[in-house]
Structure 1
């Protein structure tokens, strides 16, 4: 007796496979959607990521209850939304505004008779960081973004140029933007400078206004010129994170920082981070929820970093922006790979760009590429202590034996004797010799260390390059902790 194959009913691709009524307009992961069902499916995934960390502990209840459509309770603080004008962060901001997740601040009272809902955050701030002055070929959008944000009444706006990270009065400027009194604010007048040509990365204390006549733009471009073209995107990413964190700590009553990182971007970060030696910190970096502990100050209750777009691809976010009429405004190209000048090794100047191109091309024929990479990344577990020493550059926990790993895997020139570091009355804890290489994680050490194959013509001639104040503050804390431990080492029970 011959047994025939079971006939599989083929879905009608011309109709939406969700409502089975309207004509399909989009194909996502081999599923067809109409416009309404597409928006609902997208927002459902948005809620699934955003809601659980905002709800109180649900003992005895399932995870699906925490990620359900019920709105979380109103949070105690306000929210900061990092806007890059890419489709991910633009869609994130539109989600929050259209669903009334962010209020208008002040004493505004919600009118429920008009269908208004109680906001989750009473006030929202949009932070935009502009890299136009420090990168070639990047146009400034500061005024354009400000005008677009101000059309949404009630939103606060903070626009910062990347080179202002070298500005001694940056904290005062931020407080002025936020309407906070800063008359007694202390200005940073000293920073550390480092010699990138020496593998030990010896540190010296330098006034912030050195070299004479150098503007913040000059200092930033000098720092980029001192690194290889492949290392610049990694540093720019740390600069962006440092500025967002600084703004979030200065603005009043901030409890959450929301990032528009999509699943596509996370997959690229996962592959590129592994190749760049960030495997130790990777589980923390790709986490959808990150509670700030080691960097939280005594005056704050700590920040919670959220990535609500974690389960939404860049393609889906771009389609959503198109539906909302925002596609003419969004700009997805960061152009961080250009840096200062052009790469001498073809068109691809960094591992980030190479990974981005690889995943984009592979996703055309294999739509599950991004989800497969991210499912693998979700299984990663951080093996260290989150409250341990932090790298002064990336502000992530330092992996042990970074110098030992670097000596085994990197091709560098032979080490030479470093110059003595001059003392300072304001930093008496610094010994006669202080090297940056012993304070960095493996990835940042790779970023700041020039390999033996790096062309000398691409390296800045200046021997002492001033570091941004946020790195100098991290260095000072690490050195101070070392000095204190040396003083009490005889009393420590191992």
Structure 2
């Protein structure tokens, strides 16, 4: 067989069958130069495209604006091209709260927003356009950092991060909170004072509830006098030690979310909360969340834009949660930090796996991976080495998830503060063995007979799994360990239980809520 250029119809039938059409010439791109500017030597390759330093920074910023700009632009325009264009969005009415974890994702997000002048230095500060200054999107910016060093017994970095934020001289206000603040009744009062509230703000006298983790119904009781005298850090460590190792990263994630939400509601005029979650982290959450039973809430957790409606009967107001780095991988964010000289400052390891006592290995030597989150993270990181499209494939699947119904029409879980799936407790009882005969699973000897409430019926499936032992064998083992004191729960869980129970027996009721309950018995003036 030979290659030839015989025109069709000019050769014999045998010649046309023998001759093979000549292959078309494919233009090969020169990988040694940047494929964007085609002038400078390339230094980085992402998604089979080579970049130089300036072009890589421009590409990263363009990918961030693709997720950040549409929710900030007015919805009057029906043109999709206008909504997704790279034009700068108009100024927003509120302020921005950027969540900084010192990881490469949140550091990249904050550095880009400051360098592109998306966050201003405060209301009333004039803009000098002669120096090239632009109109900021948010007139004021806050940075919140949650310190987990005390709970994990690792080095604390609050002072280092505060110095880095203040040396930027961009008018940012740094707010450092600690994980154990979820047990501090004066936490919200301190936040209001930071936000400029009037001095003398009342300190909440609300006390946390304690829970009996041995009972599958998770009964709630008043906190014992010995527990109320312990420090918030001791209470948090006791909670982590009482949970299975696989449940600790999940409860720490809920603690982080509740603290950021409390800060956003306490500060004045916050309209947008910016999260530095990369697409790699989104893919890990999608796999681990599905495996742990969070499939019902995953569309809300993974969405790049989530509007939080105001909670009736509380001081909370609506917020918009944004994830500008949804289309950016962790590798790209790490390279950006390297270009900007921030790689020595960033820390990508959360070390949530070291929380609580060290778990025991089984007889086969396994047990080194304590949670689904860590196992999924290692799996995706290893698979991405040989299959670079792993993260994008997982996220494309996650983008197809749609939350059924409306978020505000469904009751919320007191722990994760997200809508619950219906009949989670009933579904769990049908899909697994949840009880054993009394001889194999004895009840604790000293258990209060009149709990204030039960937590299990109020939880979503994932949080129900977090607070209950994974198997009935574990339940029996816990019961054989003897009498263990009830564990105090964080304050935000009690507030969620109150909202679900409409006040609940033995729980304090606000003045407006009380007036609403007895309005039919009031005598008109």
Same topology, TM > 0.5? yes
| Alignment correspondent of 1:247 | 263
Distance 1:179 1:386, change over 3 A: same
The answer on 1:444 being equivalent to 2:463 is yes
SS class of match (1:129): strand
CA contact under 8 A between 2:212 and 2:487: conserved in structure 1?
A: yes
Out of 279, 301, 304, which is 1:288 matched to?
304
Out of 276, 282, 290, which is 1:260 matched to?
276
| Alignment correspondent of 2:397 | 376
Residues 261-410 of structure 1 aligned to structure 2 (within 5 Å): 261-293=277-309, 295=311, 299=315, 301-345=317-361, 346-387=367-408, 388-410=410-432
| Alignment correspondent of 2:128 | 111
The answer on 1:68 being equivalent to 2:85 is yes
SS class of match (1:17): coil
CA contact under 8 A between 1:412 and 1:450: conserved in structure 2?
A: no
CA contact under 8 A between 1:175 and 1:250: conserved in structure 2?
A: yes
Deviation at 1:203, TM superposition (A): 0.9
The answer on 1:81 being equivalent to 2:103 is no
The answer on 1:225 being equivalent to 2:241 is yes
CA contact under 8 A between 1:228 and 1:458: conserved in structure 2?
A: no
Deviation at 1:179, TM superposition (A): 3.2
Provide, for residues 364-403 of structure 1, a one-character-per-residue CA deviation record: whole Å limited to 9, x for no partner.
1111100010011000011143111000000000100101
- d(CA) in 2 for partners of 1:89, 1:14: 31
Deviation at 1:213, TM superposition (A): 3.2
| Alignment correspondent of 1:199 | 216
Q: Which of 298-307 and 284-293 deviates more?
A: 298-307
Distance 1:4 1:110, change over 3 A: same
The answer on 1:52 being equivalent to 2:52 is no
SS class of match (2:149): coil
- d(CA) in 1 for partners of 2:117, 2:503: 45
- d(CA) in 1 for partners of 2:434, 2:374: 24
Residues 16-27 of structure 1 aligned to structure 2 (within 5 Å): 16-27=34-45
Provide, for residues 313-357 of structure 1, a one-character-per-residue CA deviation record: whole Å limited to 9, x for no partner.
000000000101100000000010111122324221100000000
Distance 1:212 1:190, change over 3 A: closer
Out of 158, 176, 179, which is 1:162 matched to?
179
CA contact under 8 A between 2:311 and 2:317: conserved in structure 1?
A: no
SS class of match (2:272): strand
- d(CA) in 1 for partners of 2:98, 2:52: 29
SS class of match (2:353): coil
- d(CA) in 1 for partners of 2:473, 2:374: 20
Deviation at 1:192, TM superposition (A): 1.4
Gap runs ≥5 in structure 2: 1-18, 362-366, 506-512, 519-525
SS class of match (1:348): coil
Provide, for residues 132-176 of structure 1, a one-character-per-residue CA deviation record: whole Å limited to 9, x for no partner.
11113x210010011111112310111011011111111122223
| Alignment correspondent of 1:176 | 193
Which structure's CA Rg is the greater one? Answer: 2
The answer on 1:4 being equivalent to 2:45 is no
Distance 1:326 1:123, change over 3 A: same
Out of 6, 10, 13, which is 2:31 matched to?
13
Q: Which of 301-310 and 343-352 deviates more?
A: 343-352
| Alignment correspondent of 1:434 | 453
TM-score when scaled to structure 1? 0.91
The answer on 1:130 being equivalent to 2:151 is no
RMSD: 2.3
Deviation at 1:434, TM superposition (A): 2.1
Deviation at 1:296, TM superposition (A): 7.0
CA contact under 8 A between 1:385 and 1:397: conserved in structure 2?
A: no
| Alignment correspondent of 1:97 | 114
